[in-house]
Amino acid sequence: MLLVTTSFLLDRSDLRDLAAKVDSGERLDEVDALRLFESKDLNALAALADLANQRKNGLRASYIVNRYINYSNYCILSCQFCSFSRKKRDADGFELTAEQMVGKAREALALGITELHIVGGLHPSLPFSYYVGFLKALKTLDPRLQLKCFTAIEILHLAWLARKPVRDTLLELKDAGLEALTGGGAEIFRKEVRSRIAKGKESGAEYLDVHRLWHQLGGKSTCTMLYGHVESLADRVDHLRQLRGLQEETGGFTGFIPLPFQPENNDIPVRTPPTGYDMLRTIAVSRLYLDNFDHITAYWVGMGLRMAQVALSHGADDIHGTIIEEHIFHMAGAKSPQMTTEKELVKAIREAGRIPVQRDTFYRPVRVLDEPAVSAAVSALEAGGDASAARVQDTVSAGG
């Protein structure tokens, strides 16, 4: 059992009984998840989450070489938490033509990207043909380029524009080149919280329904949770419960991405963003409770790269991508860089004692960047058994 390597952290912990459940492979319930969130023993929580992660992913940690494109920040909604949206009267509003998007994509392809991540506001006047058009134009640049686009609320908006059912809208977008849905827009599912931070936006049930339909069509998507604003810990558990339930039904989520709230330039009365402690415990609880998810992403844009690096020992196995140009979090006050290089991501992963793996949109390995010390640790882990697990810890500590 791998638990032998973490027993010294758990002997005096109030999580001993939950550790036994994790070690035996027994599923945690909502009461357990709330206890994990409320525990003050972050070291024990991290050890359990790391154990669960290594059982799924070994010592590999992934990243993606991608570019973000926000086609417009004009939006018909006025979500209280949002610092990104603008009205047509605002001087700092923008919208890109398909040609401008192609230009950005062409520049990024020269840097080796494999994915374009494209989202925007609910534009008041752009026609449905605009969205189909830019998908087709981008796909012709390179058939290997993976297009991960649109949040659930954007899909509902596009279905309204197309005057078609959501299912038919998704099929048309898929035919145009859409390969994956983004997970953005989940916020917090509980109605009372959602009405305080995103009044007028789609409901939690509608968010899940869009992803359900996409999964039924054979598509994959990620999912998110925006935390650290006005929600309670019980609200977070309820959110995770609903995501786990849909994953049980469809198996269509490739990964979960917790998003720490950024408090600047919006109407939510939160003065400070989530602490590092909260970020790490949220990653850890997510890894332990979402047992039917293969991957948990530490989003470095919201956390900072150093905190995302620490999260790799708290249950995360992915630190997202190069990004190149990010607006949404930075307009809300994020202090992280607009982009980072592949070299910096690889360095952060290696410093955490993990094997860097470049992945694609679907978390499939593109290439594995090996190092002898960490490679030996992975071999020991895959061999199984208590002694092997102990050697993994020794090897990583010595050579990470």
Task: Transcribe 188-248 into DSSP letters.
Answer: --SHHHHHHHSTTSPPHHHHHHHHHHHHHTT-EEEEEEEESSS--HHHHHHHHHHHHHHHH
pTM above 0.75, yes or no: yes
Alpha carbon distance 380, 357 (integer Å): 18
Comparing C-alpha atoms, which of 234, 137, 228 is closest to residue 187? 228
Model pLDDT, residue 182: 97
- The CA distance from 12 to 16, in Å, is 8
Structure tokens belonging to residue 193: 């919280």
pLDDT at 85: 57
DSSP 8-state symbol, 81: T
Nearest to 192 by CA among 223, 234, 155: 234
Measured CA to CA, the distance from residue 382 to residue 54 in angstroms comes to 10
Between CA 263 and CA 228 the distance in angstroms is 9
Residue 328, H or E segment? none
Instruction: Write the DSSP symbol of residue 15.
Output: T
State residue 324's pLDDT score.
75
Residue extents of the structural domains in the chain: 60-351
Q: Which residues contact 295 (CB under 8 A, 6 or more apart)?
A: 57, 62, 254, 255, 256, 317, 318, 363
Which fold would CATH assign to domain 60-351? TIM Barrel (3.20.20)
**pLDDT number for residue 77:** 60
Strands (E), the chain: 60-64, 66-70, 115-119, 146-149, 180-181, 220-227, 253-260, 318-321, 355-359, 365-368
Q: For residue 73, what are the contacts with CB-CB under 8 A and spacing of at least 6?
A: 84, 85, 86, 93, 94, 120, 121, 327
Residue 178 in contact with residue 149, Cβ under 8 Å? yes
* pLDDT digit string (tens) for the chain, length 400 residues: 445 555 666 666 788 899 889 888 899 999 999 999 999 999 999 999 999 999 999 999 999 999 999 998 888 665 555 565 566 676 678 799 999 999 999 998 988 899 999 998 887 889 999 999 999 999 999 988 999 999 999 999 999 999 999 999 999 999 999 999 999 999 999 999 998 888 778 899 999 999 999 999 999 999 999 999 999 999 999 999 999 999 999 999 999 999 999 876 566 777 778 999 999 999 999 999 999 999 999 999 889 999 999 999 999 999 999 977 544 433 433 344 446 889 999 999 999 999 999 999 999 999 999 765 455 555 554 454 443 333 333 333 323 3
Interhelix angle 128-139/152-162, nearest 10 degrees: 120
pLDDT computed for residue 202 by the predictor: 86
Tokens of 40: 């003050």
Whole-number pLDDT of residue 72:
86
Closest CA to 81 of 238, 188, 212: 188
314: DSSP letter: T
Q: How many CB atoms lie within 10 A of CB 233?
A: 18
Contact between 64 and 321 under an 8 Å Cβ cutoff? The reply is yes
